[in-house]
Amino acid sequence: MTMNDRYQAARERYAAMGVDTDAALRTLDGVSISMHCWQGDDVRGFDQTGPLTGGIQTTGNYPGRARTPQELMQDIDEALRLIPGRHKLNLHASYAIFREGEFADRDALRPEHFEPWVQFAKERGLGLDFNPTFFSHPRAASFTLSSPDEETRRFWIDHGRACIRISQYFAEQLGQPCVMNIWIPDGYKDTPADRTGPRARFKDSLDQILAEPYDREKVFVCLESKVFGIGMESYTVGSSEFCINYAAKNGILSLLDNGHYHPTEVVSDKISAMLLFQDRLALHVTRGVRWDSDHVVRYDDETREIAKEIAQPGVLERVFLALDFFDASINRIAAWVIGMRNFQKALLSALLTPHARFKALQDEGRFTELLALQEELKVYPFGDVWEQFCAQQGVPGTDEWFAEVERYEADVLSKRD
């Protein structure tokens, strides 16, 4: 049986269930995911040499970390060769590229410091998203946008404003919107004496950042909440309630990272509620293991449930998708490829679900039949449709891509020390 025969057979199985596999493949082709640059170098960036701070952590010491912009770009290229579809690249401000002898601190970053990235994106037809970096910096030692020290707070407000200008530059240069996500690590290890003060300062700082003029059709500013970080176990300034309320009142987007909630809380259940009140929503798809550990995204139940909520008419185009994980214990190219392909698989699996039929069963109270069909669908020939997608997109299939990662590791990564 050729691959095409297998796809034709799968197509018929799904058709009998009321699912059009060709349409699903066409829809998936149009979904772009923002791939985070920071998996390639363990969230180090290029504008400083200090440690990763902000209560986030990479663990592992797998050889081959990208040490320079050139190496990171080369690695991103390699990953993209193995990932089907057209995507965006998600940059952090700390990935500024300075000319020999040049330096600009975070409050003074300018579009020109990202010109090589724009060039890179243009040559590959990628979009760019952006993130101010409120961590891994001497002035982020304790608090940033909520700092009680006015000079520190001013510095970070200026950073936020600089990042809006850079985001607008990305959008204009690339002719597609730039999603700019604000996440701050500010919080307390122990029970705070005053919970309101820091949040009031954060609110004022955000107001000042958003006072920077920008085109709201081109730049989509988001606010990402978090429940805790390492060293900020008792209180985060940017809690879920703070961020959702701020975003709603100020016409910016909420960004939900599925590692940022209490362990039994799921983002898949939040999407429909958010979208009844907001035009758009942004996501960081990640995988927490016992805590916000940012493991590589798997093709697991919650990832598929998130995809199921998104892959519906009238929803898909309202959700900005990005990945956010950083695993330094395995081949970093493979980490990107596995995470991206898994999220695409999750979307495809959702697109191969007869939603209208299942919804009708739910509305009619036919729960036995619904459960039976949902479970039987799990053993449909999904893999043959996925192989078809990889083939259509000209990327290696299930049994092929890993050998290419091994070749790249031997030829390129193993030569870095």
Catalytically active residues are 183, 224, 226, 257, 260, 284, 292, 294, 324
Is residue 163 at the binding interface for ligand RNT, with CB under 6 A as the rule? no
Is residue 46 at the binding interface for ligand RNT, with CB under 6 A as the rule? no
Name 327's Cβ contacts closer than 8 Å, sequence gap at least 6.
39, 58, 60, 294, 295, 296, 335
Report the nearest approach of Zn ion to the CB of residue 257 (Å): 4
Report the nearest approach of ligand RNT to the CB of residue 183 (Å): 4
Q: Give CA angle at 237 (231, 242), nearest 5°.
A: 145
- Partners of residue 321 on adjacent β-strands: 283
One-letter-per-residue 3-state SS of the chain: CCHHHHHHHHHHHHHHCCCCHHHHHHHHHCCCCEEEHHHCCCCCCCCCCCCCCCCCCCCCCCCCCCCCHHHHHHHHHHHHHCCCCCCEEEEEHHHCCCCCCCCCCHHHCCHHHHHHHHHHHHHHCCEEEEECCCCCCHHHCCCCCCCCCHHHHHHHHHHHHHHHHHHHHHHHHHCCCEEEEECCCCEECCCCCCCHHHHHHHHHHHHHHHCCCCCCCCEEEEEECCCCECCECCEECCCHHHHHHHHHHHCCEEEEECCCCCCCCCHHHCHHHHHHHCCCEEEEECEEECEEEEECCCCCHHHHHHHHHHCCCCCHHHEEEEECCCCCCCCHHHHHHHHHHHHHHHHHHHHCCCHHHHHHHHHCCCHHHHHHHHHHHCCCCHHHHHHHHHHHCCCCCCCCHHHHHHHHHHHCHHHCC
Is residue 324 at the binding interface for ligand RNT, with CB under 6 A as the rule? yes
Is residue 91 at the binding interface for ligand RNT, with CB under 6 A as the rule? no
Is residue 39 at the binding interface for ligand RNT, with CB under 6 A as the rule? no
User: Based on CB atoms, which residue is closest to ligand RNT, 285 or 337?
Assistant: 285
Q: Binding string to Zn ion for residues 265 to 304, with x set by CB under 5 A, is what?
A: -------------------x--------------------
Report the nearest approach of ligand RNT to the CB of residue 137 (Å): 13
Is residue 324 at the binding interface for Zn ion, with CB under 5 A as the rule? yes
User: Based on CB atoms, which residue is closest to Zn ion, 302 or 387?
Assistant: 302
Report the nearest approach of ligand RNT to the CB of residue 236 (Å): 10
User: Based on CB atoms, which residue is closest to Zn ion, 300 or 376?
Assistant: 300
Give the footprint of Zn ion on residues 337-356 (CB under 5 A): none
Choose the one of Zn ion, ligand RNT, none that binds residue 347, judging by a C-beta under 5 to 8 angstroms depending on kind: none
Choose the one of ligand RNT, Zn ion, none that binds residue 43, judging by a C-beta under 5 to 8 angstroms depending on kind: ligand RNT
Is residue 341 at the binding interface for ligand RNT, with CB under 6 A as the rule? no
Is residue 56 at the binding interface for ligand RNT, with CB under 6 A as the rule? yes
Rounded to whole angstroms, the Cα distance separating 258 from 381 reads: 29
- Taking CB under 6 A as the criterion, the residue among 7, 38, 117, 336 binding ligand RNT is 38
Report the nearest approach of ligand RNT to the CB of residue 180 (Å): 11
Report the nearest approach of Zn ion to the CB of residue 409 (Å): 27
Report the nearest approach of Zn ion to the CB of residue 45 (Å): 16
Rounded to whole angstroms, the Cα distance separating 340 from 401 reads: 13
Is residue 257 at the binding interface for ligand RNT, with CB under 6 A as the rule? yes
- Taking CB under 5 A as the criterion, the residue among 75, 186, 257, 384 binding Zn ion is 257
Is residue 183 at the binding interface for ligand RNT, with CB under 6 A as the rule? yes
- Taking CB under 6 A as the criterion, the residue among 11, 284, 287, 308 binding ligand RNT is 284
User: Based on CB atoms, which residue is closest to ligand RNT, 142 or 393?
Assistant: 142
314 by Cβ neighbours in 10 Å (0-12 / 13-18 / 19+) ranks as: exposed
User: Based on CB atoms, which residue is closest to ligand RNT, 14 or 130?
Assistant: 130
Do residues 323 and 258 touch, judged by C-beta distance below 8 A? no
Is residue 129 at the binding interface for ligand RNT, with CB under 6 A as the rule? no
User: Based on CB atoms, which residue is closest to ligand RNT, 84 or 187?
Assistant: 187
Choose the one of ligand RNT, Zn ion, none that binds residue 131, judging by a C-beta under 5 to 8 angstroms depending on kind: ligand RNT
Residues in touch with ligand RNT (CB under 6 A)? 38, 43, 56, 131, 183, 224, 226, 257, 284, 292, 324
